[in-house]
């Protein structure tokens, strides 16, 4: 690809590839053995000719006080789907999973989901109130929060509606769109129990209402057991302050549970003896079944995985031969113990290789390295978590729930890999 960027830039070459323009020169479509056979090799001018960057100075250390990615990575961005919503301030965008590796999502690429736009709050003006069934209602300022004992934890955050547009069938071409309402970062904060214990939760206090300071005043009811277990009140992500779109200066972290509960711009915690049945746990985030009854309080995000490369936005451009297949797996139940990969739509499976750290309720990175013979393949991944839960097929889920659940679609994704290296989002029998 690099030799095509000189004239038209990386964007145009990427578009050409997505449209199926894979004419990358003679050696591109030959196999590994053939490419190693020296057939009248011509020399590469990128080596034989002096390049500008070999001769002239680049910018200095004063050019970028806060660095940005290379100009050649400018298409690695969050994207949105305008037709999904009435207004961009109550909407969602998508993490470019197909451009990322490892398990940590860069802060600037973490998907966004707002209900009243991004609140811009001066940290000195932010307050956190704890009240209700407590011994003493309290108010904290940000300086107070940073004096609590701190913990660092890596967790995935997945929107309950991630893959929701795929319930009725294959709809969007690209894992950014089908699976991109997820990110995974390291949070720094204090356990929620520290904040609650400071106020003194009364025995009857079995539920917690968390509320945001933004124009949607987002609220969710959380059972006290979860609140006292592994929830955090966090002010940093990946080492730096939360991004405004992720709740600056303060957000709730609810490991393994649906993203809607991770209240951003957290300003209020009320202790009570029953759930509040707020809009976001009645009208929304309830899962309609085929019989007309809806499940409520479907908090946990189940075991899930997706192949991020190759995928519709990341076609194979190198032709036959050695191919790296990679993807992400995660589970709200714990860690990922295994990921299987199928090349034939689920008839046969091989165990993939999980690489990198394996944290509780965090993303896991898997790889399957193989020699592609250029034939059409139906790629799938299937994750198994530490509790023994196996990722189901979409048809399994539809049989159990119908097609109107909207939320909690953790079904196995299929990509059709075509012989030209392009891929499509498909459903299979």
Partner 1 sequence: MSKSLKRASTGLALLLAAGFAFGANAAFDGGAAEGSASPAEATASETSFGLGRPATEEEIAAWDVDVSPNGDGLPEGSGTVVEGEEIFNAQCAICHGDFGEGRDRWPALSGGEDTLTAMRPVKTIGSYWPYLSTVYDYVHRAMPFGNAQSLSDDEVYALTAYILFLNFIVEDEDFELSKANFTEIEMPNAGGFEPDDRVEEGHYRADADPCMSDCKPEPVVITMRARVLDVTPDSNSEESEVDSSVD
β-pairing, 182-191 vs 151-158, is: antiparallel
Span of 40-48, 102-110, 203-211, 236-244 interacting with partner 1 by CB under 8 A: 203-211
- The beta strands (E) that lie in 23-115 are given as 79-80, 91-94, 113-114
Residues in the chain: 429
φ/ψ (deg, to 5) at 341 = -125, 140
Minimum Å gap between C-beta 244 and partner 1 is 18
Cβ-based nearer residue to partner 1, 28 or 338: 338
Torsion of CA 144, 150, 151, 154, to 10 degrees: 50
Candidates 22-30, 132-140, 233-241, 320-328; binding stretch for partner 1 (CB under 8 A): 132-140
- 397 counts as binding partner 1 under rule CB under 8 A: yes
For partner 1, give the closer residue by CB, 374 or 402. Answer: 402
Site residue total, partner 1 (CB under 8 A): 134
101's tokens: 């590796």
Question: Which lies closer to partner 1 via its Cβ, residue 105 or residue 173?
Answer: 173
Using CA atoms in the order 23, 25, 29, 33, what is the torsion angle rounded to 10 degrees?
-170
Residue in the block written with tokens 């053939």: 34
- Residue 29 or 158: the one with the smaller Cβ distance to partner 1 is 158
Give yes or no for residue 291 binding partner 1 (CB under 8 A).
Answer: yes
Task: Work out whether 297 is an interface residue with partner 1 (CB under 8 A).
Answer: yes
According to CB under 8 A, which residues from 334 to 393 bind partner 1? 334, 340, 344-350, 360, 378, 382, 384, 387-390, 392-393
- Beta carbon nearer to partner 1, 344 or 369: 344
Q: Residue 76 or 81: which CB sits closer to partner 1?
A: 81
Residue 278, interface with partner 1 (CB under 8 A)?
Answer: yes
| All residues at 6 or more sequence positions from 235 whose CB lies less than 8 Å from its CB, including other chains | 142, 145, 146, 188, 189, 241, 242, 249, 250, 251
3-class secondary structure, 113? strand
- The correct pick among 33, 47, 68, 86 for binding partner 1 (CB under 8 A) is 86
What are the structure tokens assigned to 62, written together?
């004063």
Burial of 91 (0-12, 13-18, 19+ CB in 10 A): middle
Query: Using CB under 8 A, which of 80, 107, 238, 358 touches partner 1?
Result: 80
CB of 295 to partner 1, least distance (A): 5
Query: 14: Cβ–Cβ under 8 A, 6 or more apart, which residues?
Result: 1, 75
Residue 307: CB minimum distance to partner 1, A: 15
Residues numbered 242-261 forming contacts with partner 1, rule: CB under 8 A: 255-256
Q: Kindly tell me which of 120 and 143 has the beta carbon lying closer to partner 1.
A: 143
Distance CA 181, CA 175 (A): 10
When asked if residue 114 is in the footprint of partner 1 (CB under 8 A), the reply is: no
Does 51 bind partner 1 (CB under 8 A)? Our answer is no
DSSP letter assigned to residue 82: G
State which residue, 4 or 113, has the beta carbon closest to partner 1: 113
The token duo for 285 is 């985030």
């Amino acid at each position: 690809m690099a030799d095509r960027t000189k004239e038209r830039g990386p964007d145009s070459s990427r578009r050409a590839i997505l449209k199926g323009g894979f004419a990358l020169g003679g050696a591109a479509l030959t196999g590994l053995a053939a490419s190693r056979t020296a057939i009248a090799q011509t020399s590469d001018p990128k080596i034989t000719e002096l390049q500008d960057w070999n001769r002239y100075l680049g910018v200095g250390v004063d050019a970028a006080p806060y660095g940005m990615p290379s100009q050649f990575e400018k298409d690695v961005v969050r994207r949105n789907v305008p037709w999904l919503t009435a207004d961009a301030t109550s909407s969602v965008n998508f993490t470019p999973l197909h451009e990322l590796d490892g398990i940590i999502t860069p802060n600037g690429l973490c998907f966004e989901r707002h209900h009243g736009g991004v609140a811009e709050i001066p940290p000195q003006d932010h307050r956190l109130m704890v009240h209700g069934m407590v011994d003493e209602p309290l108010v904290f300022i940000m300086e107070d929060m940073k004096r609590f004992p701190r913990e660092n934890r890596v967790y995935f955050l997945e929107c309950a509606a991630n893959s929701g547009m795929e319930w009725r069938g294959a709809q969007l071409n690209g894992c950014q769109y089908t699976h991109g309402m997820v990110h995974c970062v390291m949070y720094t904060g204090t356990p929620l129990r520290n904040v609650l214990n400071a106020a003194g939760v009364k025995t009857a206090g079995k539920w917690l209402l968390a509320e945001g300071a933004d124009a949607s005043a987002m609220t969710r009811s959380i059972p006290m057991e979860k609140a006292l277990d592994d929830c955090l009140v966090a002010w940093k992500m990946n080492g730096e302050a939360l991004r405004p779109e992720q709740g600056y200066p303060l957000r709730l972290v609810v490991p393994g549970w649906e993203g809607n509960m991770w209240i951003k711009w957290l300003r209020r915690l009320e202790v009570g003896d029953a759930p509040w049945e707020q809009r976001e746990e009645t009208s929304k985030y309830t899962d309609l079944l085929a019989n007309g009854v809806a499940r409520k309080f479907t908090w946990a995000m189940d075991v899930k995985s997706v192949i991020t490369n190759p995928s519709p936005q990341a076609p194979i451009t190198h032709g036959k031969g050695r191919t790296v297949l990679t993807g992400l797996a995660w589970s709200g139940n714990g860690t990922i113990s295994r990921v299987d990969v199928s090349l034939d739509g689920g008839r046969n499976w091989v165990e993939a290789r999980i690489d990198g750290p394996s944290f509780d309720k965090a993303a896991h990175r898997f790889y399957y390295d193989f020699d592609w013979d250029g034939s059409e393949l139906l790629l799938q991944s299937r994750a198994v978590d530490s509790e023994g839960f196996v990722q189901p097929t979409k048809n399994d889920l539809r049989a159990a729930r119908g097609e109107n659940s909207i939320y909690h679609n953790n079904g196995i994704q299929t990509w059709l890999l075509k012989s030209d290296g392009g891929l499509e989002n498909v459903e299979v029998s």
